[in-house]
Amino acid sequence: MTAPDFTTLIADDWRDYALIDSGAGRKLERFGPYTLVRPEPLALWAPRLDEAEWARADAVFSAHSEDDESGRWRMARPLPESWAMQWDGLSFRARTTPFRHLAVFPEHSVHWRFALARARGDGETLNLFGYTGLASLACARAGGRVTHVDASKRAIAFARENQEAAGLREAPIRWIVDDAHAFVKREIRRGRRYQGIILDPPKYGRGPKGETWRIEEKLSELLCDCGALLDHDGRDRFLILTVYAVRLTPLALAQAAREALTLPGDWTFGEMALPHARDERLLPTAIFARWRSP
């Protein structure tokens, strides 16, 4: 196996989001009209802006511990329960959550655009660990059918709100609360096929029936099963995988993906990043693997 070339995908196509500054383990961001401060362990450098500008943020998230995703928001002024944002004309709702996230990962716009170019009316996309549904809505807006799977009823409820906000109430989307891997195995037994598959698995999680997920143990098997679900004869087929597990590297992910999915086609591997709005720096966010049919 030859060493792959790695690339950096930069999410520089936003108007309603901006990375204002980062450093010292934090990032200062604008989501719509609001500025927020969140922990960012990959920001190993010093901030460029002075502390007075950071102090003007509308809200600051404090994690319970260094390795904990959960925590609490300290509001400098009241924020609404949710607020409107847009990406490339696709409307959705952002909100604060107990897990530092804002119900949207801005770096994923690089994948939404990739899927938009391939989703079509006679094909169907499977979005696993689909969270609040923005990838699903992007594919549906392009005319494709979508099956959206997430183990969290709350995340599915957020996704349905985004469907309303996007004006896509009648879009052909199946919203399914289920363990992602269990659903994939049932779809294989049913003989189902998908034009595209999108995966954004967590490092660790539990399904609705207590199923456990650990990415280091389960990812290779899941990718093999996804290969069985891809339509082997259709055109514009694709797979998108995003991984936030810090212990994995792009090379480790590339080798695992190549060995698990052996269909002919083109792979792209590397990192995703957000550009700073006021200078040349990039903030790395995740590693990825993307495949498309020849």
Say how many domains are in the chain.
Answer: 1
pLDDT digit string, tens, across residues 174-205: 999 999 999 999 999 999 999 999 999 988 77
* pLDDT for position 49: 97
pLDDT digit string, tens, across residues 262-289: 889 999 999 999 999 999 999 999 999 9
Please tell me the distance from the alpha carbon of residue 123 to that of residue 97, in angstroms, as a whole number: 34
Residue 187 near residue 229 (C-beta atoms within 8 A) = yes
pTM of the entire predicted model: 0.93
Q: Which of the four pLDDT bands, split at 50, 70 and 90, describes residue 67? A: low
pLDDT digit string, tens, across residues 15-40: 999 999 999 999 999 999 999 999 99
* Residue 67 domain-assigned (yes or no): no
Say which amino acid occupies 185.
Answer: K
pLDDT at 6 over 80: yes
Please tell me the distance from the alpha carbon of residue 16 to that of residue 265, in angstroms, as a whole number: 35
Please tell me the distance from the alpha carbon of residue 124 to that of residue 122, in angstroms, as a whole number: 7
* Residue 52 domain-assigned (yes or no): no
pLDDT digit string, tens, across residues 212-246: 778 888 899 999 999 999 987 778 899 999 999 76
Q: Which residue has the tokens 């699903």?
A: 136
Secondary structure (3-state) at 260: helix
Domain that holds residue 131: 6-13+81-292
pLDDT at 1 over 60: no
pLDDT at 77 over 70: yes
* Residue 203 domain-assigned (yes or no): yes
pLDDT digit string, tens, across residues 78-135: 999 999 999 999 999 999 999 889 999 999 999 999 999 998 777 899 999 999 999 9
* Residue 104 domain-assigned (yes or no): yes
How confident is the model over 37-55, as a mean pLDDT? 96
CATH code, domain with 188: 3.40.50.150
* Residue 32 domain-assigned (yes or no): no
* Residue 137 domain-assigned (yes or no): yes
* Residue 191 domain-assigned (yes or no): yes
Please tell me the distance from the alpha carbon of residue 194 to that of residue 144, in angstroms, as a whole number: 11
